[in-house]
Amino acid sequence: MLEPAVRTADSPLGADQYRYIATRGWWMGSFDTPRGLLLHLTEQWIRQWVPARPERDWLLDREVTGRVQWLTGSAHEARDAGFDLTDTVPTGRFRAAHGDFYAGLDGLAPRPRIGSWHTPTAEFLARLPREVPALRTRLQTHGPEGRVAAQPFARAVGALRSGLVPADLRAALYAALLELPAVTVDENACDLDGTTRVALVHDDGPTRTELLVDPVDGAFAGERDSLRVDSRLGLTAGTVVLSTAVASHVVDTLGGLPASETSGT
């Protein structure tokens, strides 16, 4: 277990309240030019409001801030080739029951989610064991194998990224992850804002992944991926290709903000 460095606790969520999950981060993207592929990091804000009753409307707000870091090539090369930041990701506000935000684009009615590690539902999370050995086995065997996204550490990060994993399951997940090969703890890690976090570090394969945890309540606080080896696309070992900082709060209204944001702190 991560005790005593991390305790896990949840803020109570009333039947008519919303879990507000705010993610600021840098994601890697690519842009094809006549001279070759350019790689960049784009800063985004992703805010999501998840109702206590999932059949009610969810809200997703995705914003591209305009800040770009070029990992290969330059802003000048990209601009000359017609790079447009607004084409990198879909932006705007999306609202739908069950969090099925894109159903309307296909003329479909929103449908309940099918629970999985990367799109967890309350029912999916409730079925996961809290006993550490059983949970570790579930992480290692549940779902198709052979892809990075299907590996045990990535499965856990996918679920935690949702902001919906309850405190007892978070504690069991952290303990189960520490029993996996190549996973260690860094109690002096920082997120991209410089806030002190505890990190569970998976240091194996082509990418080093840091799962950042708030030491106050054990909440998922972000992640960071960096290359362990030079890539064929021209990136060197140590290059950060993903970095996020995540905060979660309980709010009373859809689209409402916590006091920490409305006060400007």
Sequence-distant (≥ 6) Cβ neighbours of residue 119 within 8 angstroms:
113, 162
Residues 127 and 54 in one domain: no
**pLDDT on residue 90:** 84
**Are the beta carbons of 224 and 23 closer than 8 angstroms?**
no
pLDDT in tens, the chain (265 residues): 565 467 789 999 999 999 999 999 999 999 998 888 999 999 999 999 999 999 999 999 999 999 999 999 999 999 999 998 878 788 999 999 999 998 877 888 999 989 999 999 999 999 999 999 999 999 988 555 445 445 899 999 999 999 999 999 999 999 999 999 999 999 999 999 999 999 999 999 999 999 999 999 999 999 999 999 999 999 999 999 999 999 999 999 999 999 888 765 4
From 208, 204, 114, 209, select the one nearest 157 (Cα to Cα). Answer: 209
Whether 93 is covered by a domain: the verdict is: yes
Residues 23 and 145 in one domain: no
| pTM greater than the 0.95 cutoff | no
The neighbouring-strand residues paired with 26 are 43, 243
Whether 75 is covered by a domain: the verdict is: yes
Query: Which single residue is written with the structure tokens 């570790």?
Result: 136
Residue ending a domain, among 112, 137, 152, is 112
Residues 239 and 128 in one domain: yes
Sign of CA dihedral 160, 163, 165, 167: positive
Residues 53 and 93 in one domain: yes
Residues 233 and 222 in one domain: yes
Residue 147 has a CB neighbour count (10 Å cut-off) of 9
Element (DSSP H or E) covering residue 221: strand 220-227
* Pairwise CA distance, residues 37 & 73, whole Å: 8
Output the CA angle 240-1-7, nearest 5 degrees. Answer: 85
* Pairwise CA distance, residues 218 & 131, whole Å: 18
Query: How many domains does the chain divide into?
Result: 2
Whether 69 is covered by a domain: the verdict is: yes
Reduced 3-state DSSP string for 153-209: HHHHHHHHHCCCCCHHHHHHHHHHHCCCCCEEEEEEEECCCCCEEEEEEEEECCEEE
**Residues spanned by the domain of 20:** 15-112
By CB neighbour count within 10 A (0-12 exposed, 13-18 middle, 19+ buried), where does 215 fall? middle
Hey, is 212 helix, strand or coil? Answer: strand
Q: At what angle do helices 167-177 and 152-161 cross, to 10 degrees?
A: 160
**pLDDT on residue 97:** 95
Residues 214 and 127 in one domain: yes
Residues 55 and 183 in one domain: no
Q: How far is CA 98 from CA 58, 59, 94, 114, 163, in A?
A: 7, 10, 12, 10, 15
